[in-house]
Amino acid sequence: MFRFNFIVCILSLFFSVSVFAWGKQGHRLIADIATEHLTKEAREGISRLLMSDTLADISNWPDRIKSKKEYRKYSSWHYCTVKDGESYSRSEVGGSIVVQLNSAVERLKKLDSLPGFSKRETLAWVVHLVGDLHQPLHVGRPGDKGGNKIIVSWYGDNTNLHRLWDSQILRKISARETVLLKEIRSKFLSKELFEAIPKMDRYEFGFSGTPEDWATESVQFRKYPYDMIEGVELRDVKALAPLSVHNKYLKTKGRKVAKEKLPLLGEAYFKQNKRIVLGRIAQAGIRLANVLNEIYGVKK
């Protein structure tokens, strides 16, 4: 049976210029892609746990609980911090996404769950964290909170860089998940595309590797969000949210910045990064399937 371990190779076709949490829409897409590539055994094991729900249904649960007081202590599970040019090293980073993902996977393999969570909730963490780990700004650099402190103008509306990469680029492509899935399948999950790529040009990582590897990948992809080709990059902007698009000046740390001096991001930025967003979602979906097949694919 044809295996989809070639998907990352496809990415080289689109990421050839150099090497680089999704919102609700992105996490559902990743879960849907993973579902399409589950083994029969994994599909049955997950179905017994989720009953009538799907992986997409539980994919955003870890985000939905973040606002509740009793769950705020888990906020660091969604990210890690790695300096530019460095690879992931557990002892040198802030945030614990890789540690918690590895822990959740190992516990599910042993028919166990994370402390304080059910098996269903532990599965939701696995689905969600694999997705977060592939969003480059969830493996953020020190100082700007994964782009949350960098204020930009996106087609004339003020936002921050993290939110832009979490959800706004995807929504610009389409608000419909079926449309997005069709585009991802045609551009990244096509056997014909894979066979057309010269062997020497195929991306090296494949779909194996570990969460540590995937975190290092996101550090490499992280250069793209910060390449603000349509405006001046203000890396030190720290604004109070929410920002009003009608304000002439944005309040920042000890000074004011005229709105017209913000990075003005639009069509060129969108075209450059659209393929990266879709590619990382495709990559996360196939890797999530591999993780779940490993957890549930062997009879216990």
CB within 8 Å of 224: residues ≥ 6 apart: 20, 136, 272, 273, 276
Question: What tokens were used for 27?
Answer: 């996490």
Question: What tokens were used for 208?
Answer: 């194996």
Domain count, the chain: 1
Residue 2 resides in a domain: no
Q: Residue 184: its pLDDT value, please?
A: 85
Residue 53 has pLDDT above 70, yes or no: yes
Residue 21 resides in a domain: yes
Residue 40 resides in a domain: yes
Interval 213-230: pLDDT, tens:
999 999 988 888 988 755
Interval 118-167: pLDDT, tens:
999 999 999 999 999 999 999 998 888 888 888 888 988 888 899 999 99
Q: Which domain holds residue 283?
A: 7-296
CATH number at residue 214: 1.10.575.10
Crossing angle of helices 211-221 and 97-109, rounded to 10°: 150
**Residue owning tokens 């419909």:** 176
Q: Residue 205: its pLDDT value, please?
A: 36
- Is the CB of residue 291 less than 8 Å from the CB of residue 209? no
More confident residue, 2 or 183: 183
Residue 169 resides in a domain: yes
Lowest mean pLDDT among 35-39, 116-120, 254-258, 273-277: 254-258
Residue 1 resides in a domain: no
Residue 178 resides in a domain: yes
CA distance 229 to 25: 26
Residue 66 resides in a domain: yes
Residue 130 resides in a domain: yes
Residue 232 has pLDDT above 60, yes or no: no
- pLDDT-derived band at 182, boundaries 50, 70, 90: confident
- pLDDT-derived band at 197, boundaries 50, 70, 90: very low
